[in-house]
C-alpha cells in the first residue's frame, strides 16, 4: 500500500541524509506515494458520503472544456514524473453543462486513471465531447485490454474488480466506477460502456445539456445590449 512505501522511504531518508541524490529520489517517491494515499482516502470518504446520501451536488453552469481542463490538471498531479499523451476533442462551440464541477472532475479523473491503468504499454487516451439535442456525451477512450461483455454491468458495482491476471498487477479499490456511476446519476445522467477484449474501452458520461452561464453583475450581457 502507499503507506508501506511511505514508511520505508521515510526510514531511508532518515539513514541517508548525507546523500543528495538518494534524498532526491526518496522525496520524489514520497511525493508520489502521498498523492496516491490521499487519492485513496478521498475515494473512500467520497463513497461513504455517497452511501449515506450526503454527497450534495452544487450545480452551476460550466463549459465542458473548463471542467475537462481542470480534470486533466488534477489527473496529471497524480502522475508525478510520468507524461501521458491525452488528446481532447471538443466541438467548436462552447458546450454548456449544469454540473457540480468538482464532482464531474472526480468522475473524469477516475475514468482517466483507469484508461491509463488498463490502457496497455503505451496508452493512447482521448477525451471526446459530443452533443445531442438534449444531452452532452463526455467520453474517455483508451486502446487497452478492453472488457468482456459479461463484465460490463458488474464492473460498476462497488469493490468489484474484473478477475484476470492483470488484476494482481494493477492496483485499485474497485470503487472508481461505482463513484463515476453515482456522480452521473446524481446529475440525472448515466454511464455507457463500449468495449471488447483487446479492442480498448470507451466510457461515456451522458448528461443533460446545460444553459450558458448568466453574466455576472456589471458584465455586459450581449443580448441586453442589443
Binding site for ligand ADP (CB under 6 A): 114-115, 118, 142, 144-145, 147, 155, 160-162, 167, 172-178, 201
Work out how close the CB of 71 gets to ligand ADP at its nearest, in angstroms, rounded to a whole number. 15
Work out how close the CB of 188 gets to ligand ADP at its nearest, in angstroms, rounded to a whole number. 22
Q: Across 95-168, where does the E strand assignment appear? A: 96-99, 125-131, 135-142
Work out how close the CB of 217 gets to ligand ADP at its nearest, in angstroms, rounded to a whole number. 42
Q: Which residue is nearest to ligand ADP (CB)?
A: 172
Considering the complex, state which of residue 45 and residue 213 has its C-beta at the smaller distance from ligand ADP.
Answer: 45
Q: List the end-to-end C-alpha distance of the chain, in Å, as a whole number.
A: 60
Work out how close the CB of 156 gets to ligand ADP at its nearest, in angstroms, rounded to a whole number. 7
Considering the complex, state which of residue 144 and residue 189 has its C-beta at the smaller distance from ligand ADP.
Answer: 144
Considering the complex, state which of residue 22 and residue 164 has its C-beta at the smaller distance from ligand ADP.
Answer: 164
Work out how close the CB of 171 gets to ligand ADP at its nearest, in angstroms, rounded to a whole number. 7
Considering the complex, state which of residue 63 and residue 139 has its C-beta at the smaller distance from ligand ADP.
Answer: 139
Considering the complex, state which of residue 172 and residue 186 has its C-beta at the smaller distance from ligand ADP.
Answer: 172
Considering the complex, state which of residue 48 and residue 91 has its C-beta at the smaller distance from ligand ADP.
Answer: 48
Those residues whose C-beta lies under 8 Å from the C-beta of residue 18, and which sit 6 or more positions away, are none
* Spatial separation of the C-alpha atoms in residues 157 and 151, rounded to whole Å: 10
Residue 195 has phi, psi (to 5 degrees) of -165, 145
Q: Answer whether 195's CB lies under 8 Å from 146's CB.
A: yes
Work out how close the CB of 184 gets to ligand ADP at its nearest, in angstroms, rounded to a whole number. 13
* Spatial separation of the C-alpha atoms in residues 153 and 74, rounded to whole Å: 28
Of the candidates 163, 108, 165, the one whose C-alpha atom is nearest the C-alpha of residue 141 is: 108
Q: Answer whether 113's CB lies under 8 Å from 121's CB.
A: no
Q: Are strands 96-99 and 135-142 parallel, antiparallel or unpaired?
A: unpaired
Amino acid at each position: 500500500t502507499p503507506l508501506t512505501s511511505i514508511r520505508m522511504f521515510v526510514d531511508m531518508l532518515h539513514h541517508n541524509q548525507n546523500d543528495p541524490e538518494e534524498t532526491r529520489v526518496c522525496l520524489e517517491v514520497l511525493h508520489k506515494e502521498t498523492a496516491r494515499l490521499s487519492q485513496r482516502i478521498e475515494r473512500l470518504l467520497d463513497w461513504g458520503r455517497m452511501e449515506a446520501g450526503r454527497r450534495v451536488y452544487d450545480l452551476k453552469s460550466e463549459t465542458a472544456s473548463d471542467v475537462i481542463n481542470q480534470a486533466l490538471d488534477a489527473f496529471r498531479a497524480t502522475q508525478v514524473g510520468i507524461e501521458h499523451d491525452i488528446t481532447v476533442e471538443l466541438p467548436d462551440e462552447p458546450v454548456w453543462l449544469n454540473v457540480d464541477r468538482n464532482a464531474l472532475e472526480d468522475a473524469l479523473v477516475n475514468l482517466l486513471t483507469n484508461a491509463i491503468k488498463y490502457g496497455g504499454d503505451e496508452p493512447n487516451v482521448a477525451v471526446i465531447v459530443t452533443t445531442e439535442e438534449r444531452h452532452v456525451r463526455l467520453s474517455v477512450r483508451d486502446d487497452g485490454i478492453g472488457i468482456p461483455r459479461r463484465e460490463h454491468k458488474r464492473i460498476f458495482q462497488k469493490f468489484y474488480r474484473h478477475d484476470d491476471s492483470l488484476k494482481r498487477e494493477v492496483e485499485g479499490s474497485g470503487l472508481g466506477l461505482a463513484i463515476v456511476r453515482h456522480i452521473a446519476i446524481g446529475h440525472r445522467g448515466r454511464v455507457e460502456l463500449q468495449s471488447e477484449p483487446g479492442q480498448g474501452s470507451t466510457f461515456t458520461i451522458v448528461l443533460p445539456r446545460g444553459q450558458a452561464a448568466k453574466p455576472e453583475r456589471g458584465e455586459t450581457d450581449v443580448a441586453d445590449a442589443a
